Copies of this chain bind each other. A is one copy, B any other.
Amino acid sequence: MKTLRVFAPATVANISCGFDVLGCCLQGVGDEMQISLSKIPGVRITKIDGADLPMEAAKNVASVAVIALLEKLKDTKTGVEIEIYKKIKAGSGIGSSAASSAGAVWATNELLNKPFTAQQLVAFAMEGERLASGNAHADNVAPALLGGFTLVRSYSPLDILKLNTPKDLYMTIIHPQIEVKTADSRRVIKTNVPLKKAVTQWGNLGGFIAGLYTNDYDLLSRSLDDVIIEPMRSILIPKFKEVKATAIANGALGAGISGSGPSIFALSKGKKAAEKVADAIKEVYKPTEIEFDIHVAGINPNGVTVISIDY
């Protein structure tokens, strides 16, 4: 096996009550990447389609993640060539950089006969996130690599869990095409929080995780509340309150900011419900000048997957 073409999925991080720890993987929304082994040592970006991203290996999240992987193996001989077919828009808040980092390390690991588990790959993909935002967070790369819902139990030591995924959950994502950089979005967050609000948040996170394991959609709905981050970050997203209220009024279990925004997610039970939510929230953005994309996606249980193999 010399060349692997993979699907690198988009992801939703935080999911209201799980700031910096929860994430989930989307079905059908994502990039394609082609990773090839080469006899010429070093990691190279050989093609980028669909986005204006750095070709220089030290500046591209995909190559930086693969470099971290090869360094861990103390491998100085292997060459890796990366082609990126970008479909997720940069800065959308659905894990664009994470998809590239995760896709690249996952495919490289396959081509090298799996020296690492998916859990272990998270650490390398996080190096891509460090380059993208200055913060090596795992809440997008973990679900991109493991699929389903994931929890970053701990960063030190890194401990990533794949949680149960109720089968009828669907995401509706609206991406207003305004720029909110992750670094800016982190800057609006206060470094101290009232203990009382932290307790409220961990009650909700606990409820959400219990809901995932018991397939209790009503509990998931009650738990989808963020009293800490959303009030600070949502001011950066036009029409956030209206979109959220409209989604819930149209049957969504809950809605919130996807990652650091500006995308807004709504979680629904069943595809039809998620499509109804999509139709409703479109109408909120239509009267504005802001262009937007909208996606309805199931939860992807697998993470990065193979599209084709060339021997």
* A interface, CB within 8 angstroms of B: 18-22, 151-155, 159, 161, 163-164, 189-196, 198-207, 209-210, 213-214, 219, 222-223, 228
Contact = CB atoms under 8 A, between A and B. Distances in A.
5 contacts: A21-B202, A153-B207, A159-B222, A201-B202, A202-B202
A228 B193 CA distance: 12
A134 to B, nearest CB: 15
Nearest to A161: B210
A153 B209 CA distance: 11
Give the most central of A152, A164, A196, A202: most B CB within 10 Å.
A202
A201 B198 contact: yes
Contacts of A189: 195
B206 A195 contact: no
A204 B154 contact: yes
A151 B194 CA distance: 20
Contact of A222 (B154, B195, B203): B154
A159 to B, nearest CB: 6
Give the most central of A152, A195, A204, A228: most B CB within 10 Å.
A195
A21 to B, nearest CB: 5
Contacts of A214: 213
Contacts of A223: 153
A164 B213 contact: yes
A195 B228 contact: yes
A195 B195 contact: no
Contacts of A210: 151, 153, 161, 163, 209, 213
A74 B19 CA distance: 43
